[in-house]
Amino acid sequence: MRGLFWVAFFGFWLVAVFPAASSGKKELDPLLTKEDLNHWAYQPLMSYEPPTVEKGSLVRNEIDRFILAKLEPKGLQLQPSADRRILIRRLSFDLRGLPPTQEEVRSFLNDQSDRAYPDLIDRFLASSAYGERWGQHWLDVARFAESDGFEHDFTRKEAWRYRDWVIRSLNEDMPYDEFVRLQIAGDELYPGDKDKAIATGFLVAGPDMPDINLDEERAHTVLNEMTSTTGLVFMGLTLGCAQCHDHKTDPVSQADFYRLRAVFANMDFPKKNKQLSHTFVESDANAPVSHLMERGDFGRPGVEVSPAFVRVANPMGHEIVPAPADAITTGRRKALSIWLTDPEHPLTARVIVNRLWQHHFGRPIVGTPNDFGVLGDRPSHPELLDWLAMELMARDWSLKEMHRLMLQSATYRQISRSKGGSWDVAIGSDPENRFFSRMNRKRLEGEAIRDTMLAVGGRLNRKEGGPSVHPPLPPEVAVTLLKKQWEVSEDESDHYRRSIYLFSRRNLRFPLFDVFDRPDANASCGRRNVSTTAPQSLTLLNSEFSLQSARHLAGQILNTGTSDFNDWVNQCYERVFSRPPIHTERELGIAFLKEQAALLKSEDRDPSALATPLGLTMKKDVYVGSALTDYCLALFNLNEMIYLD
Amino acid sequence: MPQYPTDAEFGRPLPAGPNRRQFLGSVGGGIGAVALAKLLSEENLLSANSSVSSQADPLARIAPHFRPKVKRVIYLFMHGGPSHVDLFDPKPDLIKYAGKPLPDSFGSVMTRRKVAHNPLLPPVMPFQRRGQSGIPMSDFLPHMASVADELCVMRSCHGDSVNHPQSVYQMNTGSILMGRPSLGSWVSYGLGSENRDMPSFVVMPDPAGGLKGGPPAWGSGYLPASYQGTTMRPGVNPILNLKPSARVSGSQQKSTLSLIQKLNTAHLKNRDYDDSLAARVRSYELAYRMQSAAPDLVDISSESKATLSRYGIGEEPTDEFGTRCLLARRMIERGVRFVQLYSGGTLGWDAHKDVKENHTRYCAKTDKPVAGLIRDLKGRGLLDDTLVIWGGEFGRMPMSEQGTGRDHNPWGYSVIFAGGGVKGGMTYGETDAIGLRAETDPIHVHDLHATILHLLGLDHEKLTYFHNGREERLTDVAGKVVRGILS
């Protein structure tokens, strides 16, 4: 109905804009209407000049102009910069997922040069920890796990290679367009280059049921999942909604979905009971005929469709041409990768700069990072979003350049808490901080919490890459698994690797990550939930891991040689919070240590049954030492530990 | 400009009026000044009765869409797929045509294993009419038969997959795919919690483990983790990390916790009483209360001998499942909203080889406890506003497998309800003449879910959550309330 109406008015215009779409496919798709294309995200990227603002003195770079331009009319301004201790902590977690070392804090505080802050950013970006941190953000989006899911949840023995490829590519600052292209078509773009082919592990990273009865059902499910995920990850398009019928709100038809799916249709599927390969494999150039599947049902193939790109995001008019006679694959994915990374593509660059912004500022510009469609949130700063997208391309798609840009802005450096004056005005007029009138407080992920506890206790093993490791699970959890699903790594030092190297089992998330909202890897996750639950508190308070971490931190502090409680409290705050305690905190800490030691002594417990500090190089009073363990455990449970100012 | 907590933040009197966020009209309540003052006093912090509520609490109680028939659910999940044609759905034709292949008139049938042309297997146990209502049940279930008049046997249920994990997911989440929110999560999301000391959705897996599909069956999918099922088990450590290590004494932990709350409260005060920080302060309160509430919950020493024996506790082979059934009652008494129990480890009720042997074993473990639970709930007046569900992920085929076993059958099977809002002593719907497919008044899994939500006062079409571009529902785009069973 709607289609017919618009055809009458805009038919001519549409034929001009989308000749391919309007020729002979009328029975398949409602034609795109002008109204459909009016949605902001389908509009071409616009080139905006950074606006002029009144308080030019606050501006550090162009980002601040866009932000101030929205704040000033509301009588708001940017908050002042946080001090250096807060900044280094913010940057360190942001870029590395680890706290700054005491040495790093000291040297940053002492660096009087104008370059101190940008140099710090550069140092952190150059650290391999950067790829390990941002790799996890990408793996969330890529719904990455290392097992099939379903009943048998078989291990995918080679899946870690994709994880390592992601980390390495980010560390090498691979241009984002290449990063995208390789994940779609590394094998087709660079035939014979095994490393590039590993990137296509992205496509096959979703759940799969190898023992499903019918081959057609398996292929249908996997291809639909792959197509939907490609839409969410690179374009913020909820294509999956068009599997069964035309998209209810966005101008994506069911035919659009199955035409895009046809790009992947030549995938080699293994026989029943065999796992998918860890890369996308096409062994010839003869793709099967593709169909629209009625109601998304694998048993009901409808009309034939040819591979093509989602029309609403294809104002460039890319087409997929049949493979040449001598081709070894269909070339369809290569064409897809080129279309996605065409600078004229309205979505790709916008989607990625929004993801970068989200992780730095604690809130994306478009609140629904996987959904730029009609039902998604509108951008709070559309001009800024476009400017960042253009800037990304102008900087040769360099993600590290974009990090620098964002992190050097005055907007990023703002304080996240204060009182009185302009702060109260900001809270009052921008209660949700939609306009970035201050810095958002961010909660650390379970992975960063674990890495931090290992790091401050001196236990973190920084070994990089390779097959994933299996630290011990609590016995109550381990018994729920099938045999051989979690064989604890033999080398104990592997138990203390960074969280991104822990084996990621689809049917069982690592308990500490699970309670802190790690996504389940069954669908692309653009933005983690941040829930607060009692099991989180029980985990940080009572788990063996917490206690061991506290004992190790206590051991590290005792090994500095001092027996002065004052020094201990100082050391604890410096290591865990990157700052000295204030007077009251110090007094509370000293009082706690004294009282707790007295309590432990009065309980007359067997010294061998106490939570004494570990890794000690000298003998210490067990009661006092255990009191210090308790103190360290308390600090791990503080909001300041898991919320970043 | 103070960027760290200032000393003044400690021990400074709290504002008497509404806190900043409320004052400024922000969404989300934060925690009130009075409640915060309570938090600050250690006595209250560590008391079992302190209750702090907040709009920001994801588990705060929420009004249902309409007047509910039941407040809570106990879901007894018979993992592996119990055989409806041997338990609840007698088929004379299956006796008549025993040993013959499936008549052509039934058309082709999709099966998990190659059983479509195998001879039909008659019921392996005789059926009797039971109770006043006379609903038929087989001799496998003498105890459940004794409460037949409480049971509503839906004999026309059907789902979409012949595979265990897909069907376990579908029965729990509505979808055969992994990773959707489970029924219990949707209920927690829709109604919040009835209690402040325990999770609102508790799962007690079979101690043998091995559920096909694993914990995603009670996961919260794209709903926040607050709504996922908390795993509990009988014994001294019912919840993961519930208790401190043996190296930490109770009084030692209490003083550590007190320090945590003091420092966290100061941190919170200095940050505009941020809702999420406040929620975290509260989460330590709940955690502390759970530490005493959960062991108290699983301590059944105060139960009478009569009660214990009703559940078959203290005797084999009912002790284990009976204990979990009794714990289910104790949980709902304490305001847990949704309790799910699994019977059956890796193989469970999956009787491919020998239905009689398998079901004899599993019925012996569960029959008496289930009947005991229903009777106990009734005796305590709890059955009126509790829904008890009994069922597996599918039923079993009328054809034989390996002579005496049966393959999976998602096309027609029985699920049993008992409790508030549903008619007892009735059967509803029919499978075809041999129990292969749901035929009269078919009930798809979506319909079951719609009905369960309806009984809880929730409209399945209105209980939605926006995710990746869609207003998602437990019932996808389907589901009809089965009105015929409502009392």
Q: Where are any strands of DSSP class E within B182-318?
A: 201-204, 230-231
The Cα–Cα gap between A352 and A358 comes to: 10
> What's residue A3's pLDDT?
39
**Nearest residue of B to residue A482 by CA position?**
B210
Out of A516, A579, A630, whose CB is closest to B252? A630
Query: Is-contact A355 A369, C-beta < 8 A?
Result: yes
A360-369, A505-514, B230-239: the lowest-pLDDT one: B230-239
Q: Where are any strands of DSSP class E within A143-210?
A: none
The Cα–Cα gap between A489 and A510 comes to: 14
- Cα–Cα distances (Å) from B91 to A354, B11, B292, B441, in that order, read 61, 75, 51, 17
Question: By the CB < 8 Å criterion, does B388 face chain A?
Answer: no
A70: distance to nearest CA of chain B, Å?
20
Residue B173 tokens, joined: 């989440």
Residues in chain A with CB shorter than 8 Å from the CB of B110 are: 213
Residue range B327-332: mean pLDDT, rounded: 96
- Per the DSSP assignment, residues forming a β-bridge with A461 are A497
pLDDT tier for residue B8 given thresholds of 50, 70 and 90: low
- Per the DSSP assignment, residues forming a β-bridge with B240 are none
**Confidence check: pLDDT of B37 > 50:** no
Residue A324 tokens, joined: 């040449």
Contact B24 A428 (CB under 8 A): yes
Q: What is the ipTM of this complex?
A: 0.92
Question: By the CB < 8 Å criterion, does A441 face chain B?
Answer: yes
A28-32, A36-40, A111-115, B177-181: the lowest-pLDDT one: A28-32
- Which B residues, 115 through 134, put their C-beta within 8 Å of a C-beta on chain A? none
**Confidence check: pLDDT of B38 > 70:** no
Contact B468 A221 (CB under 8 A): no
Contact A427 B24 (CB under 8 A): yes
**Confidence check: pLDDT of B26 > 80:** no
B262: distance to nearest CA of chain A, Å?
9
- The distance from CA A565 to its chain's CA centroid, rounded to whole angstroms, is 40
Contact B225 A511 (CB under 8 A): no
Chains A and B: how many Cβ contacts under 8 Å?
256
Instruction: Name residues whose C-beta falls within 8 Å of residue B193's C-beta, 6 or more positions apart in sequence.
Output: B59, B60, B61, B199, B200, B335, B337
pLDDT tier for residue B36 given thresholds of 50, 70 and 90: very low
Q: Residue A266, CB half-sphere, CA atoms under 13 Å: how many?
A: 21
B244: distance to nearest CA of chain A, Å?
4
> What's residue B17's pLDDT?
31
Q: According to the per-residue pLDDT averaged within each range, which of B42-56, B400-414, B457-471 is highest?
A: B400-414
Residues in chain B with CB shorter than 8 Å from the CB of A544 are: 245
Residue A596 tokens, joined: 């707790």
- For chain A, give the percent of residues with pLDDT over 70: 96
pLDDT tier for residue B53 given thresholds of 50, 70 and 90: very low
- Which A residues, 496 through 525, put their C-beta within 8 Å of a C-beta on chain B? 506-508, 511, 514-517, 520-524
Residue range A614-640: mean pLDDT, rounded: 95
The Cα–Cα gap between A455 and A640 comes to: 16
Residue where the block lists tokens 């979990």: B324
- Which B residues, 234 through 273, put their C-beta within 8 Å of a C-beta on chain A? 237, 239-249, 251-253, 255-257, 259-260, 262-264, 266-268, 270-272
> What's residue B484's pLDDT?
97
Contact A640 B267 (CB under 8 A): yes
> What's residue A633's pLDDT?
98
> What's residue A566's pLDDT?
97
Backbone angles phi, psi at A578, to 5 degrees: 60, 30
**Confidence check: pLDDT of A201 > 90:** yes
The Cα–Cα gap between B89 and B109 comes to: 20
Residue range A33-45: mean pLDDT, rounded: 92
Residue where the block lists tokens 């294809």: A314
The candidate with the shortest Cα–Cα distance to A353, out of A333, A382, A319, is A382
- Per the DSSP assignment, residues forming a β-bridge with A291 are A304
Query: Is-contact B83 B121, C-beta < 8 A?
Result: no
Residue A317 tokens, joined: 């008019």
The Cα–Cα gap between A447 and A469 comes to: 14
B21: distance to nearest CA of chain A, Å?
8
Contact A603 B251 (CB under 8 A): yes
The number of residues making up chain A comes to: 645
Question: By the CB < 8 Å criterion, does B21 face chain A?
Answer: yes
Out of B3, B230, B469, whose CB is closest to A82? B3
For residue A281, the tally of other CB atoms under 10 A from its CB is 17
**Confidence check: pLDDT of B234 > 90:** no
Residue range B408-412: mean pLDDT, rounded: 98
Residue B55 tokens, joined: 């709009």
The Cα–Cα gap between B27 and B47 comes to: 29
> What's residue A552's pLDDT?
98
Out of A83, A249, A600, whose CB is closest to B3? A83
> What's residue B209's pLDDT?
79
From first CA to last CA, the distance across chain B in angstroms is: 66
The Cα–Cα gap between B301 and B305 comes to: 9
Arithmetic mean of pLDDT over chain A: 93
Residue range A516-541: mean pLDDT, rounded: 91
CB environment A400-426: b (16+ within 10 A), e (fewer): bbbbbbbbbbbbbbbbbbbeeebbeeb
Contact B253 A579 (CB under 8 A): no
- Cα–Cα distances (Å) from A302 to A295, A308, B188, B204, in that order, read 9, 17, 40, 45
What tens digit of pLDDT does each residue of A122-143 get?
Answer: 999 999 999 999 999 999 999 9
**Confidence check: pLDDT of A150 > 60:** yes
Rg of chain B on CA atoms, in Å: 25
Quick one: A338 exposed, middle or buried, by C-beta within 10 A (0-12, 13-18, 19+)? middle
pLDDT tier for residue B9 given thresholds of 50, 70 and 90: low
The Cα–Cα gap between A168 and A129 comes to: 10
Question: By the CB < 8 Å criterion, does A579 face chain B?
Answer: yes
Residue A149 tokens, joined: 């899911």
> What's residue B483's pLDDT?
98
Residues in chain B with CB shorter than 8 Å from the CB of A83 are: 3
